[in-house]
Chains A and B, each alone.
Chain A
Amino acid sequence: MFSNASNFVQGVDTSFAIILGASLFFLVGITAVMVYFVVRYNKNKHPEAKDVYENKKLEITWTVIPTILVLIMFYFGWTGYQPMRDIPDEGLKIKAYAQMWSWQFEYDNGKFSDTLVVPKDEPVILDLVSRDVVHSLYIPAFRIKEDVVPGVDNKMWFIGQEEGDYDIFCAEYCGDRHSYMLSKVSVLPESEYTKWYNDTTATADHPGLAILKKNACLSCHSLDGSRIVGPSFKGIWGHEVEVVTNGEERTVTVDEEYVKKSIYDPNADVVKGFNQGLMISYQNIVSDDEIKDIIDYLKTLK
């Protein structure tokens, strides 16, 4: 039961063992007494009931003992949790961006990754940033979770103590594809991590595709024509689409001006059949040059 995947697992699992153990004891004990009474004092065996109104000593006992017990449970819950809030000053600082419906991790050197890669045995401090609604970063194997709240500066930390890949889930409901907002944390030996960290050469991806991935565009807009939440990118460049502008339908051609407007002011022209209000403006996030890369890439999606 006790793994050592993060520095918190042992403390949390100790709390689990104590609280679950005590709870199981009471559940079994009280249920057993109840069933025994029902059998023992069944009217066939025990036809004359006897009134017992109260018993002060007994009642005080079963008020005081549970009070003490729950305070003990509280104490273990607190001690297992306290280290999670003692965020060290020194450590590897990574920005974790959450948005519908993907995770992105930004490192000191400007490197972006859609999985969280960390060195073994070193404190990692995550700065949690949401670009739209409330999300929650949950790593079950590490026993940690913290909400990613827009406009609020939440932080979490951990030390990965065993090499391996562990699931990251989004735990706060965030819309259609909440259950697909998954990622991994990879705990690597120091040397492998350093190699990974310093490898800033461009990926094999087209630069436009890399920008789409980095900004979670693909969690709503597919590349293969399938419908997710927004219209697919496949084959849209240069084609005409029906959009709704201020409640009126009109036809526009997908050109540079339209692409830019859709990125900076996504609710202005919404493709017919899709919803307003779900996409954020990328005004200060995606630059003009990056939009050019995106357009170059869109041209390749025939």
Chain B
Amino acid sequence: MSVALAQPENFYQAKRGLFSWIFSTDHKRIGLLYFYAIISFFLVAMALGFLMRLELIAPGETVMGAKTYNQVFTLHGVIMIFLFLIPSVPAFFGNFLLPLMIGTDDVAFPKLNLFSWWLYVLGGIFALLTLVVGDGPADTGWTFYAPYSVKTGTNVTLAVLAAFILGFSSILTGLNFIVTIHRLRAPKMGWFQMPLFAWALYATAWIQLLATPVIGITLLMIIAERVFGVGLFDPSLGGDPILYQHLFWIYSHPAVYIMVLPGMGLISEMIPTFAKRTIFGYKAIAYSSLAIAFIGYFVWGHHMFTSGMSGPARVIFSVLTFLVAVPSAIKVFNWVATLYKGAIDVKTPLLFSLAFIFQFLLGGLTGLVIGALATDIHLHDTYFVVGHFHYVMFGGAGFAFFGALHYWYGKIWGKMYNEKRAQIAFWLMFIGFNTLYFPMLVLGLMGMPRRYYDYLERFETLNVISTVGSWILITGILLMIINLIVSRKSGKVAPRNPWGGTTMEWQTPSPPPLHNFDATPVVPEGNPYDHKNNITEKA
């Protein structure tokens, strides 16, 4: 190919200094600001998870008291959900990639985007403040169930305020993406020429916009009850604890899809690239994202099968829960079918994607076991549920995030990661993850309740195995992070399109210039994963 003329300035070089970052309205810089904050919180919550597993290695007190343990699992959940999982993929990959993928120079509202990041930081600071003021972090679990959350002396008010602020950050990001996708697609890019990641972000953004206000109001109600004694949820003040559970899960179940749908979008990008062929069933994958987002609104009651909800309500919520499994199953079938007759190049992002499929499948199928009434009554609030949602959230969304970090590493930082070290890290993570969480499924079937600081002796063996798994997993994660840090210095320079990807972000230099493209990007014809008319293949 032709010799590149003077390489244009990339977006790192365009401006310098701290203020050029924290007050930047460039979607790529804001994406990176999110990334560094998100990954720091992830490491904090991972350390808390490590301490919890260490405490549970043997019955009785091991490294901390009961109250501390309860605070640790609450903080682990709050950070992982509100500060890692919810923002991780949309706020980092979404911000960085969406404008590149649809061929535009920024999101629709760049200043609002910066404001969302500042809200995120403010929420994060409030969450961390609970550590150092008053009676320590909340000890309610991330669910803040009333009336315990009204009665406890720990920093529930502050923690709830943090979640409230983070909610606004999420709402504004969602709003920004919806408008961006509607208004700023490159001329000639039809809806069905959008990459599937954009579809996933679009479906997610609607949930963020419509469901998050409900949790905002609910959390304010908790504060009103704690601070002003307004009787809303505490029966001793005339309130209704079941009302709290409904309001909480009306948001928090759709929020599960805020966490996993964008991850599914990442998988839909990585698999066709490494299979060197088009995605199978593009439209089915796009529509199933919308179907999941829609049906996902109506299944929240399955968190309350034992709450004393009426019989018919339990039956209806159970049916709907089973139906929401169908679009997820369709996606899995399509991904597997995309491997058929490909020319598969097994690189780290693909390994993470395959692990995603296996672990998400296990997470989804265990979801059916607790979606059924008879079996849920036994498994509700046991370790089975803990195993199930870690398979979906970490084994699914988390693995998609880390796979994508390798896939777009060159595009974002301009260097390639070390493949060999990345694969070693991947296998440690895969083995560690399954050793950590699979025993939890068995513990749940045996009847061990969740959020237990101490347990009966018959649960000990599996808890020991699980704790050992946590050590392997953390070793893998640390190795992965070290590899990514070292590769920034020692990695090979990344070309525009190291993997032969077909979507538009591969048309621009790595890292991209400030305004994203050095030449007018070309919208691929037909579906965006067609390798035969891939104009960037050898660029």
Contact = CB atoms under 8 A, between A and B. Distances in A.
A37 B275 CA distance: 10
Contacts of A174: 148
A78 B369 contact: no
A301 interface: no
B382 A59 contact: no
Contact of B377 (A12, A23, A154, A276): A12
Interface in A3-33: 11-12, 15-16, 19-20, 23, 26-27, 30-31, 33
Contacts of B275: 41, 49
Interface string A27-63: 1001101100110011100111111111100110011
B380 A145 contact: yes
B378 A12 contact: yes
B375 A77 contact: yes
Interface string A76-89: 11111100110000
B284 A15 contact: no
Nearest to B143: A173
Interface stretch (B16-24, B203-211, B355-363): B355-363
A138 interface: yes
Chain B's interface size range is: 35 or more
A74 B326 CA distance: 13
B378 A147 contact: no
Contacts of B344: 37-38, 41-43, 46
Interface string A258-288: 0000000000000000011110100000000
A176 interface: yes
Contact of B66 (A12, A20, A177): A177
B298 to A, nearest CB: 15
B341 interface: yes
Central interface residue in A41, A76, A277, by most chain B CB within 10 Å = A41
B280 interface: yes
B306 A136 contact: yes
Nearest to B280: A52
B27 to A, nearest CB: 32
Given A67-B323, A78-B315, A147-B307, A46 B343 contact: yes
A277 B342 contact: no
Contact of B240 (A30, A67, A151, A278): A151
B376 A77 contact: yes
Contact of A176 (B66, B242, B380): B66
Contact of B280 (A11, A54, A79, A178): A54
Contacts of B234: 150
A170 B358 contact: no
Contact of B381 (A59, A79, A80, A136): A136
Contact of A171 (B66, B341, B446, B449): B449
Contacts of A19: 368-369, 372, 375
A48 B343 contact: yes
Contacts of B314: 81
A149 B241 contact: yes
B282 A52 contact: no
Interface string B242-277: 100000000000000000000000000000000111
Contact of A67 (B326, B332, B341, B456): B326
Interface string B368-395: 1101111111101110000000000000
Contact of B453 (A16, A49, A179): A179
B448 to A, nearest CB: 8
A34 B358 CA distance: 9
Contacts of A70: 322-323, 325-326, 368
Interface in B286-339: 306-308, 311, 314-315, 318-319, 322-323, 325-326, 329-330, 332-333, 336-337, 339
B530 A77 contact: no
B14 interface: no
B336 A34 contact: yes
Given A12-B378, A54-B280, A179-B454, A41 B373 contact: no
Given A54-B281, A134-B148, A143 B378 contact: yes
A95 to B, nearest CB: 16
A30 B361 contact: yes
A110 interface: no
Contacts of A78: 315, 318, 372-374
Nearest to B381: A171
A133 B365 contact: no
B9 to A, nearest CB: 36
Contacts of A73: 322, 368, 371-372
Contacts of B242: 149, 152
A76 B455 CA distance: 31
A247 interface: no
Interface string A143-185: 1111101111010000000000001011111111111100000
B420 to A, nearest CB: 18
A171 B234 CA distance: 20
A225 interface: no
B241 A150 contact: yes
Nearest to B444: A140
A71 B343 CA distance: 37
Contacts of A33: 336
Contact of A34 (B135, B240, B278, B354): B354
Interface in B100-141: 135, 139-141
Contacts of A85: 311
Contacts of A42: 343-344, 346
B350 to A, nearest CB: 8
Contacts of A47: 343
Nearest to A84: B377
A37 B333 CA distance: 13
Nearest to B338: A52
Contact of A41 (B235, B278, B311, B343): B343
Contacts of A34: 336, 339, 354, 357-358
A52 B66 contact: no
Contacts of B148: 133-134, 173-175
Central interface residue in A37, A47, A177, by most chain B CB within 10 Å = A37
Given A23-B369, A278-B152, A149 B377 contact: no
Contacts of A147: 306-308
Sort A-B residue pairs by CB-CB distance and give the 7 closest, nearest first.
A77-B372, A80-B374, A140-B447, A151-B235, A81-B373, A23-B365, A275-B153
Interface of B: 66-67, 70, 135, 139-141, 145, 147-148, 151-153, 234-236, 240-242, 275-278, 280-284, 306-308, 311, 314-315, 318-319, 322-323, 325-326, 329-330, 332-333, 336-337, 339-346, 354, 357-358, 361-362, 365-366, 368-369, 371-378, 380-382, 446-447, 449-456, 527, 530-532
Given A12-B375, A30-B357, A149-B242, 5 more contacts: A16-B374, A23-B368, A62-B333, A172-B145, A275-B153
